[in-house]
Amino acid sequence: MTRLTFLGTGTSQGVPIIGCQCPVCKSADPRDKRFRAAALVEMDGLTILVDAGPDFRSQMLAHDVRHLDAILLTHNHKDHTGGLDDVRALNYIDRKAAEIYCEERVLQTLRNDYAYAFADHKYPGSPEWHVHLIDDRPFRVDSLENTGELEWVHDLGYFYRQADGSLKPSDNAVVEAPHDAPNVIPIRGFHHDMPVLGFRFGNIAYITDMSRLPEQELVKLQGLEHLTLNTVSYHPHHSHFSLEEALTLASLIGAKHTWLTHLSHAFPSHAQFCRELPPTVQPAYDGLVIED
């Protein structure tokens, strides 16, 4: 069984937007409170997070997440990567580096945005990441990689205990993700002109932050029970599907259920939006769980 929980369904600023007085931002319906887009996937005994934006900490707390086998990043925008420093809490529980799966271009941004996490001499307590490079080929996510057990040395930071008992400073190693027996199928799309990835897990596909999905990718989206698509506006948008584009794509792909995410306050309240949409295409909301 594959289960996906929407941890966040809001656009880059979230909903409500700071300072906005519109009826959607002022709505009392909890379904109109949207964290930045992220999803938690449970599959084959694995717990996988897709994107770790600025609301990562609140999302982990809201769903009592105590362990992640992998963090998959769709692309390098801050609303999808801004919470990665907070994996420190899980480093401490798991005594392992966080297993992050991303493309080379995303890694380059992480190196810039989080230079301290890749420094030769890391400040004690910096986040521990083990980066698996992926591309658009299917790849395998496993339970925690055998990267050794982290040991916290007071005031000095994380170290790996060697066989001879000595301590080796940790580093944020980068490896290639394995392609044998894949359990995740990347979907290549474009966010304006930026290549981004969506992911298929079993019969559930999660696509966010795309404005174009090349036709050759459609073959990867056949026979879906659940499809997630992003939209931010009724009007054409340079980097996201418009609602009309999302609806057209939803009917072309023909999943049994399509869920809309990355929603903005340009759409009406959740209850009203549900009434405007066909029954097979509905807005997702934070906390919604879908299963196959």
CA distances from 127 to 105, 106, 119 (A): 20, 17, 11
Q: Is 209 helix (H, G, I), strand (E, B) or coil?
A: coil
CA distance 182 to 154: 39
Closer to Zn ion by Cβ: residue 22 or 156? 22
Torsion angles phi and psi, residue 160, rounded to 5? -105, 130
User: Is 265 an interacting residue with respect to Zn ion (CB under 5 A)?
Assistant: yes
User: Is 79 an interacting residue with respect to Zn ion (CB under 5 A)?
Assistant: yes
Q: Residue type at 162?
A: Q
User: Is 194 an interacting residue with respect to Zn ion (CB under 5 A)?
Assistant: no
Six token digits for residue 208 = 């966010």
User: Is 103 an interacting residue with respect to Zn ion (CB under 5 A)?
Assistant: no
The set of residues, in sequence order, having a beta carbon less than 8 Å from that of 292 and lying 6+ positions away, is 1, 2, 202, 203, 204, 225, 226
In the list 77, 200, 237, 240, the residue contacting Zn ion (rule: CB under 5 A) is 77
Which of 109-117, 175-183, 212-220, 260-268 is the region at the interface with Zn ion (rule: CB under 5 A)?
A: 260-268
The minimum distance between CB 90 and Zn ion, in angstroms, equals 23
Closer to Zn ion by Cβ: residue 128 or 245? 245
The site for Zn ion, by CB under 5 A, has a size of: 8
Closer to Zn ion by Cβ: residue 104 or 176? 104
Which of 74-82, 116-124, 217-225, 277-285 is the region at the interface with Zn ion (rule: CB under 5 A)?
A: 74-82
User: Is 266 an interacting residue with respect to Zn ion (CB under 5 A)?
Assistant: no
Site for Zn ion in 138-167 (CB under 5 A): none
Handedness of CA 167, 168, 174, 177 (dihedral sign): negative
Site string for Zn ion, 6-25 (x = CB under 5 A): ------x-------x-x--x
Closer to Zn ion by Cβ: residue 21 or 146? 21
In the list 32, 209, 217, 245, the residue contacting Zn ion (rule: CB under 5 A) is 209
- 16 preceded by cis ω (within 30°)? yes
Report yes or no: 182 and 150 within 8 Å, Cβ to Cβ.
Answer: no
Report yes or no: 51 and 4 within 8 Å, Cβ to Cβ.
Answer: no
Which chain residues interact with Zn ion by CB under 5 A? Answer: 12, 20, 22, 25, 77, 79, 209, 265
